[in-house]
Structure 1
Amino acid sequence: MVGGDRISDLPDDLLRRILYFAPVKEAASTSALARRWRSLWLSSGAVNLDTRSYHVPDDNLYGKRAAFVRDAHAALAARGRHYPLRKLTFHVEGHHCNIIQLFLCISDDGLKDDIVGLVLSHRAARSVEELCVDAYVGRHSYEDRRESGYYDLSLASLPSKNLRRLRISSCASLKVPAGAPVVFPRLEELRLHFCTDVPLHDLQSVVDSAPRLAVLDLHSVCLSSPQIDVPGDAATHEGSQPPAKLRCPAVTALVMSDCTWTNWTGVELDAPMLRCFKYNGNFREPLALKPQAANLTRVDMEYFSPDMYYYIENNTCACFWQCAASFSNARVLRLKTNQLEHLRPGSDTNGLQQNKVVFRDLERLELEAQHKPGRSKHTGAAMAHLLHCCPVIHQLRLNLSTSTTLEIKSYGDDGCFEQDVFAEKDQLDFDKSVNHFLRRRFKNPTMSCEVPDYIHGLTGQSFTCLQSNLRCVSLRFRRDDSNRFGVRLAKFLAENAMVLEEMHIDDGNQKIWEHINHVVGRSVAGSGLGFAVLPLETRN
């Protein structure tokens, strides 16, 4: 390919879009390229302030800070004279949390100095529609941050009139001004990530002041509250503290990922317009949606928990199903857990099984779960309970594993060599298996070990979804001598799903026939149901 200036051939609108994401120092430097570039960075509508653009050692921190503020004001002044500013971002990175705190909060004379508020006080910042403040220690990736918050953010300093999207990360606390509340008439998205101390009443004030807020994303946020005094001995009883209550009247998409809350027993959400909900955490405390959202479409729930004693484990089951009851009208449900056994029915304090939750409108169920081969009794009971709870599902996607996340990541430092070898071997196996499948070689399969039919909790039961609704099954599992649950489950579904049209199977090595027990093949071929067994083509 002949070299040359290919980027100059792009139209101005596309170049502006590229510069929309560029740090301000690099974007401004493009004005020296040619006359055409002089105003492109100004008309992109964005100023992205990034400390990584300043190659200054930490011992000259205040010199770096002064240059950062000087360039920020120069960029804002240039934009204000020519084009309105739509997006403003702060990206602050340091080698230690103390460096970030000093950079953001302390001036060279040792006094408190809010650098974010200082930049936002510029007149050109009043037109900002999208604001992002992101700070983190450079050695950590985004998902590995566990440090304390670095700065306090005053809501009074924000460009509240035009703001539509607000994303704040690594904030110590939000400061709501006393007296007249700040109003955000156009705010549509609020994302708080890795914030260590957000009083619930302050968050509620922001939500109440944003009548158009549709997206609320809380990731690794600690919602705090003063200790509530409970009279008498009531504080010693479980559930004596009230639940945390959050009202979101206009929110349609809500994310609560790895959040914590203090001095409350559970969380109660009031989000009548909710359509999509995502929860990531544990179920030691109840989570409820009151009242149920009438138009709820999709629910994603992910939780991981260590091995527990029976009482705690049983309480986890009960809390999960108590939470699930709040979202029983969802149409799509995605579950991910490292304890499939925890999805079996929960029990109350007297050991009696609680009332079954019925997902009356659920059309699609996706389950990604780890299970223990030695606890097949609980595994089968959990799977049976899920099928009973989903009487009208049309699609069922199962991804079952006995490996922990740590084991999955333990194949070498970078895994490149192993991946190349396994990919070549799997491709040969896949080609051979496809050839067997296309020729319908039902006799003399290379793997002929018999798999027992019986599955505790499943065998002998009748399921409404299998009788009249389930049409597509996708099943992924890793078959080995210690784990035959996946094969037995495939056989059970093949024999009992009366209106099944397609079954997609991936056993880990793409051997769609050799790694599926030949008993399953014969039962499918002789059932007369007419559904197809196909390889699972897409990987999650």
Structure 2
Amino acid sequence: MARFQKKIRRTMAAADRLSALDDDLLEHILSFAPAKEAAASAALSRRWRPLWRCANALNLDSRPYSSGAGGFHYPDARFDAFFRDGKAALAHRRGTALKRLTVFLKEGAYLTRRGSYYRVHDVEPEHDARVAGLLADPAAAALEELRIAGEHAYSGLYIPPLASLPCATATLRVLELHFCCLQPPPTSSARLAFPRLTDLSLRDCTYLEGYLQVVIDAATALTRLALVNVTNKPPKRPDSAEDSYSRPSKPSNLPLCLRCRTVTALVLVTSVSLEEQQDSRDIGIQLDMPSLRSFRYKGFPVKLSLTSPAPGLARVDLDTNRRERNFYKREPAARMLASFSSTRALKLHITGIEEIVSGDEAILPTFPNLKLLEIDGNFKYMDIDAALAVATLLRACPAMSELRLRLNMAYDYDYDRKMQEPARRSFAQSVERFSRLASMCSQHRDDVEFGGVSELMDAFTDNCEFSCQRTSLRKVKLQFKSKEINCFQVQLAKFLVENAMVLEEMHIEDESQFWPDHLCHKVARWRADALRRRNLPDTAGFRVYQLANPAVDPQSKANFVRN
């Protein structure tokens, strides 16, 4: 009994703390709750009754209504309560301006009958008109943000009535669609227009061939566009027999050609099959966006080009770290960068840093305005192309001021066998390190022994200089998993700290478990010795920092697992 009373007191105390909040804050909290739960808060007290009606956001979620008894065939009576509650929630807000509406639709909430994976003539199932009724409600006429999420189903994706939205031509600024299908309205008289739309996000959506460009053209003020796994749906095949069932035409990611003169930020995430790569190798992705300032691409390396210059481009983020067993004909990462030479910041996440160089062909452009370069990738053991790739990058960025490298060695069978030899096991390594430390005098403990074969090519080490090292490179971040005392990353760190004349900071994380092997204890001495040999003072005030977040080392055979 005492325990129960104590629990009641804790609950009441928590309720009192929540009630102590201002009404504006409580309304903001209720704006994130589903409409059914938000309305239930009115039963708490007299003060709570009007709060959920005053919130400027409403969430209509059909998923809780799908549980319980109900028929297998559509229309499903279980969703009648969803539409009834949705209408009631909108009716209570007609005195309060509704700014944000989010709608989650189960398959049974928007389809009047269950479709089939094999449909006659690719005909879309009939949609429930009650969904369009919710979106066209007078309470939603002044919406600024609209989010619609359907359900991935073979019966068909939800088709939002974009041309008939009351808020489209007046107030709508943000439109987000998930698992929806974009296609023209059934009547040609409906005109698509989004004069105030600035933010458009499509995720896992399909669109009828050519209609995505129509939607973008209708948004004359669009500044941000996000396309995540958006596929192009070919038109209906005219040669389908009337009495036969046919598989729906398969949507595709490529080719993709988009035009928008006002977009400043573009996010593009694609998943390209081998067939699409072969069919669209001459086109790939073409973008006509001269106002672009920020671009992020994630997917397989494909042909990517800007058909018009983007002089204001400030940041490019390319993530092509994808592995496909049958994906052999891949676009070199360096060729994908050809259209982005004007960017001021470049982040590149690639499978192997060797992708920067492609044989003897010089395909990497010069980045005259680049200030920040960030590379995340693997390199092959004892492969001179890794050093050649780094040298190529340094040469292509003459004005770079900050360099961030996250490099790890890719799985190598011969190296793995060598490290599994008895002499290389943990105890033997500890004994070897202790003996080496004991034999070193305190004066030279920060030195590194370069006794093996250098993985930096001769052109990289023999008086090799780059413009950025002489005049602009001031900050270097290097993250890796140290596997050898003389690994490629250590050699690279030594080269950079000895040759970057205006370097001010070096941030390092090598995950070395033996403190004398940490680079933090060595790079300062390397730089001091290099400046002493050149009879130069350290005018930059060089400092060394150890990064708090360690580098992630790919586990041997995990490199072959597709992300």
Q: Please, which of 193, 197, 202 is the counterpart of residue 192 of structure 1?
A: 202
Q: Please, which of 143, 150, 159 is the counterpart of residue 128 of structure 1?
A: 143
Superposed CA RMSD: 3.4
Shift, 1:499, TM fit: 1.2
Task: Give runs of aligned pairs for residues 23-422 of structure 1, distance below 5 A.
Answer: 23-54=34-65, 56-57=67-68, 59=70, 62-80=76-94, 82-92=95-105, 100-106=106-112, 112-136=127-151, 150-158=157-165, 159-161=167-169, 162-176=171-185, 178-195=188-205, 197-224=206-233, 244-258=256-270, 264=280, 265-284=283-302, 286-306=303-323, 312=328, 316-317=331-332, 320-344=333-357, 346=358, 353-374=361-382, 376-402=383-409
Letter of the structure 1 residue corresponding to residue 499 of structure 2: N
The 2-side partners of 1:518 and 1:250 are apart by 51
Q: Give per-residue Cα distances to partners, 1:416-460, cap 9 Å, x unaligned.
A: xxxxxxxxxxxxxxxxxxxx9xxx965446986756555026323
Q: Please, which of 498, 502, 519 is the counterpart of residue 499 of structure 1?
A: 502
Task: Give runs of aligned pairs for residues 419-438 of structure 1, distance below 5 A.
Answer: none
Q: Give per-residue Cα distances to partners, 1:14-64, cap 9 Å, x unaligned.
A: 111111111101111111112221111111111101234447237457233
The 2-side partners of 1:119 and 1:483 are apart by 66
Please list every run of 5 or more consecutive structure 1 residues that lacks an aligned counterpart in the other structure.
93-99, 138-145, 228-241, 405-435
The 2-side partners of 1:43 and 1:301 are apart by 43
The 2-side partners of 1:471 and 1:324 are apart by 24
Letter of the structure 2 residue corresponding to residue 516 of structure 1: L
8 A Cα contact 2:146 2:176, kept in partner: yes
Q: What residue in structure 1 maps to residue 461 of structure 2?
A: 459
Shift, 1:331, TM fit: 0.7
Shift of the 156–539 alpha-carbon distance from structure 1 to 2, 3 Å rule, reads farther
The 2-side partners of 1:518 and 1:155 are apart by 62
Letter of the structure 2 residue corresponding to residue 24 of structure 1: A
8 A Cα contact 1:149 1:170, kept in partner: no
Q: What residue in structure 1 maps to residue 426 of structure 2?
A: none
8 A Cα contact 2:27 2:52, kept in partner: yes
Shift, 1:149, TM fit: 6.0
Shift, 1:321, TM fit: 2.8
Task: Give runs of aligned pairs for residues 437-516 of structure 1, distance below 5 A.
Answer: 443-444=444-445, 450=451, 452-456=453-457, 458-460=460-462, 461-481=464-484, 484-508=487-511, 514-516=517-519
Shift, 1:78, TM fit: 0.9
8 A Cα contact 1:476 1:506, kept in partner: yes
* Worse-matched range after superposition: 119-128 or 358-367: 119-128
The 2-side partners of 1:25 and 1:44 are apart by 14
8 A Cα contact 1:394 1:471, kept in partner: yes
Q: Is the partner of 1:175 in helix, strand or coil?
A: coil
Does residue 527 of structure 2 align to residue 524 of structure 1? Answer: yes
Shift, 1:475, TM fit: 0.2
Shift, 1:255, TM fit: 0.8
Shift, 1:268, TM fit: 1.6
Q: What residue in structure 2 maps to residue 428 of structure 1?
A: none
The 2-side partners of 1:370 and 1:508 are apart by 16
Letter of the structure 1 residue corresponding to residue 217 of structure 2: D
The 1-side partners of 2:268 and 2:293 are apart by 14
Letter of the structure 2 residue corresponding to residue 45 of structure 1: N
The 2-side partners of 1:453 and 1:521 are apart by 21
The 1-side partners of 2:514 and 2:297 are apart by 35
Shift, 1:102, TM fit: 3.1
The 2-side partners of 1:23 and 1:521 are apart by 57
Shift, 1:371, TM fit: 2.2
Q: What residue in structure 2 maps to residue 232 of structure 1?
A: none
The 2-side partners of 1:175 and 1:307 are apart by 36
Q: What residue in structure 1 maps to residue 433 of structure 2?
A: none
Shift, 1:526, TM fit: 1.6
8 A Cα contact 1:193 1:221, kept in partner: yes
The 2-side partners of 1:136 and 1:111 are apart by 15
The 2-side partners of 1:328 and 1:246 are apart by 20
Shift of the 394–74 alpha-carbon distance from structure 1 to 2, 3 Å rule, reads same
8 A Cα contact 2:71 2:77, kept in partner: yes
Shift of the 135–293 alpha-carbon distance from structure 1 to 2, 3 Å rule, reads same
Please list every run of 5 or more consecutive structure 2 residues that lacks an aligned counterpart in the other structure.
1-8, 116-124, 237-253, 412-436, 532-537, 552-563
Shift of the 148–469 alpha-carbon distance from structure 1 to 2, 3 Å rule, reads farther
Shift, 1:101, TM fit: 2.8
Shift of the 441–43 alpha-carbon distance from structure 1 to 2, 3 Å rule, reads farther
Shift of the 147–276 alpha-carbon distance from structure 1 to 2, 3 Å rule, reads farther
User: How many residue pairs were aligned?
Assistant: 465
8 A Cα contact 1:163 1:187, kept in partner: yes
Shift of the 221–148 alpha-carbon distance from structure 1 to 2, 3 Å rule, reads farther
Letter of the structure 1 residue corresponding to residue 26 of structure 2: L
Shift of the 107–85 alpha-carbon distance from structure 1 to 2, 3 Å rule, reads farther
Q: What residue in structure 2 maps to residue 415 of structure 1?
A: none
8 A Cα contact 1:282 1:305, kept in partner: yes
| Higher alpha-carbon Rg | 2
Shift of the 148–455 alpha-carbon distance from structure 1 to 2, 3 Å rule, reads farther
The 2-side partners of 1:442 and 1:502 are apart by 24
Q: Give per-residue Cα distances to partners, 1:131-176, cap 9 Å, x unaligned.
A: 1112347xxxxxxxx9896322332243312211110011244334
